[in-house]
Structure 1
Amino acid sequence: MKKLLLVAAILYGSVLSFGDAKADYESARKLVQNNKISDAVKVLEKISTSGEKEYETKANFDLGLYYFQNKDNVKAKKYLSAVWNNGTAATPEALEAAKWLHAIATQSKNTAEAQKYIEWADKSTQGKDIDIVSSIVIFYYENKMDAKAQERYNSAIKSTDKNFVAELNYNLGQYYIEKNNIPKAKKYLQDSYKASPNAVVPAGFLLSQIALSEKDNATAEKYLLEMSKATQDKNSEILGMLGSYYIGVNNLPKAEDYLKKSITADSKNSDSLLMLLTMYESKKDTANINSIYNKLKTIVPKGLNKELGITYAGIGNAELSEKYFQKSINEDKDNESKMFLGQLYFLTGKQTEGINLVKEAVNAKVKGADEVLKQMQSAGNKSTSTKK
């Protein structure tokens, strides 16, 4: 279900008729543009009782979403119920309102009402809306109505639309991942994977990640290679995943090959460039280090050295983090990097060097450096006291 904001609903609502309600609705749009939300709400509340059906519906829907997002479910339900109008007509607005009413009822743990709205929406769309079908099957499972869930699922997968079947299984696979029920997640994701060529990449990605978590490298590789084949070996992100996979299994020649293919497909794939840079740094391959560094420089023309220092610190590579923070300090004259490098030194046992660097950052008026210095000095004092 797409999360719509009051701002978006008003700004992009269509205008099809004329009259006072239309003028008021335009006024509400302008108030939103000027960030006068409370005034816009007052105007919308006036429109909601104007008798102009089209604009009443618009106003009620906007107000319903506004109050839902502000966690006032009582008012949200009031306005959205006016749009739903007891399900008398399956208009697009009523269907959207039913989805949000289902969400409100679910939040409020009112299972009967939640069921009423989602079943009405499913019936009104003749079971052809994949989001609604996925929601109703998941709703049944979530509320231990397993027989109903299985019945609705069995009916849905009879569809001749293979993409519909694939997406339903994919959504259920995601649901069971969130529930940490990996066997069921795998079952639905595999069914999705087999149902349509369009599911090979999304379902394959999740299946490859599950395989990696289970240390089933052969299966993970199989899915990644099939994903790449499905995209004609031209998808930079997937090629980068293969590069990362081969790094993980210590097949560095293959990793390098796929990472090169990844940046050929997209010269600005920073993840693949960073992996290649790290590989070349480990081999002290100066020529390739400089080549990849220059490619990264086109993506991050300012502050690259500091960004690399932060990135390598984050993945625990203190040696490369120090190298690039030093480049940032010496070549870019970046005083903030003194604070970062000082922290790195402090955490790796070089407390004196670390404190001295952060003092330099404080003298250079680097934001936050004074607080970092206090914390380091306090931690240093505690450490000295403990040793005594």
Structure 2
Amino acid sequence: MFSKIRFLVLFIILLAIMGCNNQFISSGIIYMQQNEFDKAIVQFNEATKIEPNNAQAYLWLGKAYGYKQKYETSAKYFVIALDKDTSGKIIKEMKETVEFYWPVLFNAGTGFLNNKDAKERKSDYESWLNKAEMVYDTSVNYDYLVLLYAELGDEVKMIEIIDKSTAKNPNNLSLYFNVAKYYVRIEQYDKAKDYLQKAIDIDSKNPQILYWMGEINYSTKKFDDAVLSFNNFFEAQAALDSTAKAKIDSYRGDASFKMGKIFLDEKKKYADAVKYFKTALEINSEDIEAMLNLGFSYYKNKNYADAIKILDDYMKKANIEISALYYIQSDCYTRMKMDKEGIKAYDKARELEKQGK
């Protein structure tokens, strides 16, 4: 925010520039200095009516809304001011006071992330981010333009802005990461891996990037590569402090579940599968899919008592009875020489099977 002294200095300078030709602007500036922003807005609106091409009137109108934290309305008037200015004074002032103007334009331009209306308001967000780039030359503006075009599914424009961004900052890790996630979303996994690899080349210990590489390898059934990537993720996450580690613990849960599936279904290494599914359940005790697969893993690993218990727990938590699971329990009891319990589980399985369960 401007201090009162700075406002007075700007006021004197602007009056000199404008020659006090527009009394509404003069009155509005006085209200601004007094923090009477609503009254100032009334004055600046009147100024635009009598001088619709007066860039300064729109600039001050944008400032008033900016101080009220109405960023989109503020940005709208800043764009009008820039478009109407033929002298270069508007952009000069914005660059000289970048700490005010840039955040307003940037916050407005990134509004699509929360508003979820990128398609309906593409031109607004595009304009605000482009004007933010004019005011403050940073690759961050381009990064969010990339996200905007990704949201819109405009790959051509997205690639164009990626090139501009990487020209400014070739080690832009977050850009590569976000582009990779866009390609994952549209299931273009080869392109996603290309961008993730660029990110890994910059930071080989970033756990989120390593997780996503594992996710892609898992989705494309490259299971050996997935195991390597997930193990790299586990190592990187373990090296974080407790706060940072907790923030991405859900990633560890998902990676553990997928590692369990790989060792259960693909590698047939059931003891390893048990370990990973137990970890997934430690992280999220409500993960019934992990519970079910842990039961299968126990069974395959000949941990019959554990298999019986966890499959019981699964059916209770899921509020369901499944004939196939009772058949497994019956076999477990039989292998444990518990014939009475085995027969009981078998009969229950047959009963459920007749009911189509």
Contact 2:273 2:294 in 1 (8 A): no
In structure 2, relative to structure 1, the CA distance for the partners of 1:96 and 1:272 (3 Å cut) is: farther
Partner of 2:195: 223
SS at match of 1:192: helix
- Is 1:272 matched up with 2:245? no
In structure 2, relative to structure 1, the CA distance for the partners of 1:85 and 1:288 (3 Å cut) is: farther
In structure 2, relative to structure 1, the CA distance for the partners of 1:215 and 1:94 (3 Å cut) is: closer
Partner of 1:299: 283
In structure 2, relative to structure 1, the CA distance for the partners of 1:239 and 1:145 (3 Å cut) is: closer
Task: Write out per-residue CA displacement over residues 282-306 of structure 1, whole angstroms, 9 at most, x where no aligned residue.
Answer: 1331232233245445534xxx3xx
Amino acid at match of 2:76: Q
Amino acid at match of 2:156: P
The structure whose RCO (Cα within 8 Å, separation 6+) is larger is: 2
Partner of 1:156: 133
In 2, Cα distance between the equivalents of 1:93 and 1:244?
Answer: 47
In structure 2, relative to structure 1, the CA distance for the partners of 1:275 and 1:195 (3 Å cut) is: farther
Partner of 1:342: 320
In 2, Cα distance between the equivalents of 1:198 and 1:85?
Answer: 47
Amino acid at match of 1:242: M
Task: Report the Cα offset of residue 115 of structure 1.
Answer: 2.8
In 2, Cα distance between the equivalents of 1:181 and 1:174?
Answer: 10
Which of 154, 160, 167 lines up with 2:140 in the alignment? 167
Contact 1:167 1:199 in 2 (8 A): no
In 2, Cα distance between the equivalents of 1:236 and 1:209?
Answer: 14
Contact 2:146 2:162 in 1 (8 A): yes
- Is 1:260 matched up with 2:237? no
Which of 274, 280, 288 lines up with 1:309 in the alignment? 288
In 2, Cα distance between the equivalents of 1:229 and 1:280?
Answer: 29
Task: Write out per-residue CA displacement over residues 79-123 of structure 1, whole angstroms, 9 at most, x where no aligned residue.
Answer: x635868579899986341534718xxxxxxxxxx7326656986
Task: Report the Cα offset of residue 265 of structure 1.
Answer: 1.1
Partner of 2:269: 285
Task: Report the Cα offset of residue 223 of structure 1.
Answer: 0.9
Correspondences of 1:89-108 after superposition (within 5 Å): 95-97=66-68, 99-100=70-71, 102=73
In structure 2, relative to structure 1, the CA distance for the partners of 1:242 and 1:91 (3 Å cut) is: same
In 1, Cα distance between the equivalents of 2:62 and 2:76?
Answer: 19
Correspondences of 1:181-192 after superposition (within 5 Å): 181-192=154-165
In structure 2, relative to structure 1, the CA distance for the partners of 1:260 and 1:83 (3 Å cut) is: farther
Contact 1:273 1:296 in 2 (8 A): yes
Partner of 1:180: 153
**TM-score scaled by length of structure 1:** 0.47
Contact 2:109 2:124 in 1 (8 A): no
Task: Report the Cα offset of residue 175 of structure 1.
Answer: 2.1
Task: Report the Cα offset of residue 172 of structure 1.
Answer: 1.6
Correspondences of 1:1-388 after superposition (within 5 Å): 81-82=38-39, 95-97=66-68, 99-100=70-71, 102=73, 115-116=76-77, 125-126=94-95, 128=98, 129-134=101-106, 135=108, 142=121, 149=127, 153=130, 156=133, 161=137, 164=138, 166-197=139-170, 199-200=172-173, 202-212=174-184, 216-231=188-203, 233-267=204-238, 268=249, 269-282=252-265, 283-296=267-280, 298-300=282-284, 304=285, 307-310=286-289, 320=293, 323=296, 330-331=309-310, 337-338=315-316, 340-342=318-320, 345=322
Contact 1:309 1:322 in 2 (8 A): no
Contact 1:239 1:261 in 2 (8 A): yes
Amino acid at match of 1:174: L
Partner of 2:23: none
Contact 2:263 2:269 in 1 (8 A): yes
Partner of 1:376: none
In 2, Cα distance between the equivalents of 1:145 and 1:270?
Answer: 39
Identity across the alignment (%): 12
Amino acid at match of 1:330: K
Give structure 2 stretches of 5+ with no counterpart: 1-30, 45-56, 83-89, 113-117, 239-248, 300-305, 327-354
In structure 2, relative to structure 1, the CA distance for the partners of 1:205 and 1:145 (3 Å cut) is: closer
In structure 2, relative to structure 1, the CA distance for the partners of 1:84 and 1:341 (3 Å cut) is: same
Amino acid at match of 1:115: K
Give structure 1 stretches of 5+ with no counterpart: 1-52, 61-79, 104-113, 313-318, 354-380, 384-388
Aligned length: 245
SS at match of 2:70: helix
In structure 2, relative to structure 1, the CA distance for the partners of 1:288 and 1:96 (3 Å cut) is: farther
Amino acid at match of 2:258: M
Task: Report the Cα offset of residue 145 of structure 1.
Answer: 9.0
Contact 1:280 1:289 in 2 (8 A): yes
Amino acid at match of 2:261: T
Task: Write out per-residue CA displacement over residues 198-252 of structure 1, whole angstroms, 9 at most, x where no aligned residue.
Answer: 633x221232234445665443222111111211x11111111111111223222
In 1, Cα distance between the equivalents of 2:142 and 2:254?
Answer: 30
In structure 2, relative to structure 1, the CA distance for the partners of 1:190 and 1:275 (3 Å cut) is: farther
Amino acid at match of 2:196: L
Contact 1:277 1:289 in 2 (8 A): yes
In 2, Cα distance between the equivalents of 1:297 and 1:98?
Answer: 45
SS at match of 2:68: helix
**Rg: which structure is higher?**
2
RMSD: 5.1
Amino acid at match of 1:219: K
